Amino acid sequence: MKAFVLHRYGKKGALELAEVPIPELRDDEVLVQVHAAGVNLLDSKIRDGEFKLILPYRLPLILGHDVAGVVVRIGPRVRQFKVGDEVCARPDDFRIGSFAEFVPVKEASLALKPRGLTMEEAASIPLVALTAWQALIVKAGLKKGQKVFIQAGSGGVGTVAIQLARHLGATVATTTSSANVDLVKRLGADIVIDYRNQDFEDVLRDCDVVLNSQDGKTLAKSLRVLKAGGKLVSISGPPDPDFGTEIGAPWFVKLAMRLLSSGVRRQAKRRGVGYSFLFMRANGSQLREITRLFDAGVIQPVVDRVFPFESTNEAMAYVEAGRAKGKVVVKLR
């Protein structure tokens, strides 16, 4: 099969389009013929070597964390899916590889593709929607009537998180550029802050939840817009000790995480708010809940551009530039 392969870690390095064997299928997996694959900043960060301690992959490696396609083979223990099913998934860590013609996916991480969506739209969903779900529902416990601040509302996670928070009955605040104000309002944002002309810290106060996806300076300011008892969930770091325990990290990695997050945890404690780091995990049952919301039209996919499979490196560069509205996808079929 054709696949984009990472041979060595390196900043801005190109993946190589190569012929590789189709991966062997485990008993609890299905083999998906890839029709489309979502492109995420996580792919670039892994390529650059930023996650070597957290995710010690063996090279060569096929990247790609989102897939939509058709089941062409099933393992002997698979019960919920059959050959011919149209599906989508965020493959598990250490089984990623959707920048390829075929990818194996655990049955437990799979969902049927929403009926009303194209393959390209379905491939845009899993990683960002699971991130929003795990941050807002699992970690923060966002409830009706609460106020949530979602940073970078026009980005991949932001476009889904705004719609999910609105569905939960929360008041939604977000940041974006002036060019994307109408987009985030249409998605359900109540308070829109043009980050080029306004400082969100001057506008917001008494938030119940903040979903942080930006840098350390923004993280520090985000703590100050929370009410006492509020929760800050960060998907951009720093990782905290609980995350180290969750992934079973070696002691020296846990120590590094404790040191990296000590400042923000200390600030959070002083202000009487909670801080937690989220590294999204594959989860089929959550993804099936999410796809029902897409089927019902509660959440709409936002796809910025679709690149041909041969232009996967260009698609990654486009995502890294940080100007995409919603998601970027590569199309194989």
Read off the DSSP letter of residue 2.
Answer: E
User: How many angstroms separate the CA atoms of 148 and 172, rounded?
Assistant: 5
Please choose, from the candidates 314, 1, 47, 38, the residue with its C-alpha nearest in 3D space to the C-alpha of residue 159.
Answer: 38
Do 148 and 76 share a structural domain? no
Do 153 and 264 share a structural domain? yes
- Angle (CA) 303 183 223, round 5°: 100
Do 139 and 119 share a structural domain? no
- In this structure, of 85-89, 142-146, 148-152, 212-216, the range with the lowest mean pLDDT score is 212-216
The domain total for the chain is: 2
Average pLDDT over residues 235-243: 91
| Confidence at residue 249, expressed as pLDDT on a 0 to 100 scale | 86
Give pLDDT tens digits for 190-217.
999 999 999 999 999 999 999 999 998 9
Identify whether 287 is part of a domain.
no
| pLDDT of residue 91 exceeding 90 | yes
What count of Cα atoms within 13 Å lies in the side-chain half-sphere of residue 320? 15
Q: Is 150 helix (H, G, I), strand (E, B) or coil?
A: strand
Please choose, from the candidates 61, 60, 80, 62, the residue with its C-alpha nearest in 3D space to the C-alpha of residue 71.
Answer: 80
Calculate what percentage of the chain has a pLDDT beyond 90. 91
User: How many angstroms separate the CA atoms of 212 and 223, rounded?
Assistant: 10
| Confidence at residue 54, expressed as pLDDT on a 0 to 100 scale | 85
| Confidence at residue 13, expressed as pLDDT on a 0 to 100 scale | 85
| Confidence at residue 247, expressed as pLDDT on a 0 to 100 scale | 84
Write the CATH number for 67.
3.90.180.10
Do 109 and 121 share a structural domain? yes
Do 268 and 327 share a structural domain? no
Residue 179 sits in which domain range?
128-277
Identify whether 161 is part of a domain.
yes
Identify whether 115 is part of a domain.
yes
Give pLDDT tens digits for 17-72.
999 999 999 999 999 999 999 999 999 999 999 988 889 999 999 999 999 999 99
Q: What is the DSSP string of 34-93?
A: EEEEEE-HHHHHHHTTTTTTTS-PPSSEE----EEEEEEEE-TT--S--TT-EEEE-PPT
Identify whether 324 is part of a domain.
yes
Do 119 and 144 share a structural domain? no
Identify whether 292 is part of a domain.
no
Residue 246 — pLDDT band, cuts 50, 70, 90? confident
| pLDDT of residue 11 exceeding 90 | no
Q: What is the DSSP string of 207-257?
A: EEEEEE-S-HHHHHHHHHTEEEEEEEEESSS---HHHHHHTT--HHHHHHH
Do 156 and 226 share a structural domain? yes
Write the CATH number for 267.
3.40.50.720
Do 252 and 166 share a structural domain? yes
User: How many angstroms separate the CA atoms of 35 and 320, rounded?
Assistant: 23
Do 105 and 220 share a structural domain? no
Do 23 and 96 share a structural domain? yes
